[in-house]
Structure 1
Amino acid sequence: MTKTNQPLLALNDIVTKVNAGTPNEVMILKHLNLNIYDGDFITVLGSNGAGKSTLFNTISGELPVTDGQIKLRGRDITHLSVEKRTAFLARVFQDPKMGTAPRMTVAENLLLANQRGKRRTLRLRRLKQHMAQFKELTASMDSNGLSDRLNTATENLSGGQRQALSFLMATEQRPDLLLLDEHTAALDPKTSEQLMVQTNQRVTQEKLTCLMITHHLDDALKYGNRLIVLDQGQIKYDVRDEEKAQLTKEQLLSFFDTIE
């Protein structure tokens, strides 16, 4: 289906450099253009050094834009701070230790995530009143046992449980844009597959707009309505909907051969 509405997020002619102004200056994103629409679930592929993490760091504000413009629903957010972007953007990293407070319990972490983008004031946290909600929420992650560990410190969880918690925290307030930065890469194959199934279920049911970096071609083909390939800081391939559904692993590998 061709989308003609305004993009949720538009990256226009984006240039991102690291070590700018030094002898080690390197241009990573090279006049990149990308329109992301409401409900897009985009899998992101690319070889090492192609610019995938830089793309995510640019969208999240971790890296400043050297040139170009980023717009959210038509509003210029190019120079918006990382903190202000958390009002509409959430991210899950590859490392399960990132994104959670280790000495806080599962329930306390979820309560913290519940306040994402909201004005912070001094008030009672009312944790007990949220326990039934958190029990139901964690149970949605199927059989990883997270719902039975609401009072467990996050540092005592398994890697899979901790990453499931990070994912729930990122999606609890239904962000406008969700960035999944190889969020299953540090897990064993079985746990990784379980989290991917749960990820797809939540993203599609909640109609979240999501970009997911992955090195697994099978996951890139199986999940999402759209697939993009980065190479040398530019998007060299962008396929969606029925065209993506008909794409084979062999065709994708053949395309990689042409850009290497």
Structure 2
Amino acid sequence: MTEPILELKNVSTVVNKGTASETTILKDLSLTINPGDFITIVGTNGAGKSTLFNVIGGNLIADAGQVLHNGHDITHQGEVARTSFLSRVFQDPKLGTAPRMTVAENLLLATRRGQRRRLRFRGLKPRMAEFAQLAASMNNGLENRLNTATGALSGGQRQALSFLMATLKRPDILLLDEHTAALDPHTSATLMQATNARITEDHLTALMITHHMEDAIKYGNRLLVLKAGQIKADLTGKQKAALTPEKLAAYFE
């Protein structure tokens, strides 16, 4: 039997501790993630989706329970330490890239993710052909803008670059935090197709928060419904295949 790549065991999180507005967000939540899982996550505002990602990413330490990576307890490990095996793409295209650096320079930076930084020659020129091929996989003309400052890109191109940077070193865990939400429908669809292709081809393990019911149903092998800090449904196989947006929406009622 394959060992889970990530496990959350009876995780709870509390905000505004000791005040009248103290609230438990995640409530004794347990989740097993296996290598190669592509899990889409839906839920209403306040269901705990972002909190779940923050606990997995190390931005937030769980108040109770455990987080395990390949069987090792990382519950109290911080965000920086987890970058050696985890990447995250945020909703805002401006996050995750250096605006004054070119597309190629950003990609070069991503090749050194999780490594110690030291003074050395950049070695950019020998990798330009590789970066052009990589950028072309996004199907949005990014390969023609390798020498363009990232801040001058369109939102869709910048988000595509963020995605490439997050997946360049094939992380154990990829968190997609509504990464298409700020894009127009056509650009969003193009990025989702490229996202699915890369996750599938590189056998990545990914979790994706989305408010698009159609995307949650269409992509991935598992679909989680979060409600009030708990997993109300974990749908796979025929259950997931039989879903419609209307049937999925019924879980929120």
TM bin, normalised by shorter chain, reads over 0.9
Tell me the SS of whatever aligns to 1:137. Answer: helix
From 40, 55, 58, the counterpart of 1:58 = 55
Tell me the SS of whatever aligns to 1:70. Answer: strand
Partner letter of residue 174 of structure 2? L
Partner letter of residue 84 of structure 2? A
Tell me the SS of whatever aligns to 1:30. Answer: coil
From 61, 71, 74, the counterpart of 2:71 = 74
Give deviations 1:17-65, integer Å, cap 9, x for gaps. 2233444322111110000000000000000000000000110011111
Give the aligned partner of residue 143 of structure 2: 147
Give the aligned partner of residue 36 of structure 1: 33
Partner letter of residue 213 of structure 1? I
Distance, in Å, in 1 between the alignment partners of 2:68 and 2:18 is 26
Distance, in Å, in 1 between the alignment partners of 2:85 and 2:19 is 33
Q: For structure 2, which runs of at least 5 residues remain unmatched after alignment? A: none
Shift of residue 120, structure 1, vs aligned partner:
2.3
From 74, 89, 92, the counterpart of 1:95 = 92
**Identical amino acids, percent of aligned pairs:** 63
Give deviations 1:147-171, integer Å, cap 9, x for gaps. 0111110000000000000000000
From 119, 124, 138, the counterpart of 1:122 = 119
Partner letter of residue 49 of structure 2? K
Q: For structure 1, which runs of at least 5 residues remain unmatched after alignment? A: none
Give the aligned partner of residue 230 of structure 1: 226
Give deviations 1:212-241, integer Å, cap 9, x for gaps. 000011000000000000000010100112
Distance, in Å, in 2 between the alignment partners of 1:167 and 1:22 is 39
Give the aligned partner of residue 169 of structure 2: 173
Native 8 Å contact 2:227 2:252 kept in 1: no
Give the aligned partner of residue 192 of structure 1: 188
Tell me the SS of whatever aligns to 1:147. Answer: helix
Partner letter of residue 30 of structure 2? N
Q: TM-score under structure 1 normalisation?
A: 0.95
Distance, in Å, in 2 between the alignment partners of 1:118 and 1:55 is 26
Q: TM-score under structure 2 normalisation?
A: 0.97
Give the aligned partner of residue 24 of structure 1: 21
Native 8 Å contact 2:225 2:251 kept in 1: no
Shift of residue 123, structure 1, vs aligned partner:
1.2
Backbone CA RMSD of aligned residues: 1.1
Give deviations 1:127-159, integer Å, cap 9, x for gaps. 1111111011001111x1110111110000000
Partner letter of residue 167 of structure 1? F
Shift of residue 249, structure 1, vs aligned partner:
2.5
Tell me the SS of whatever aligns to 1:68. Answer: strand
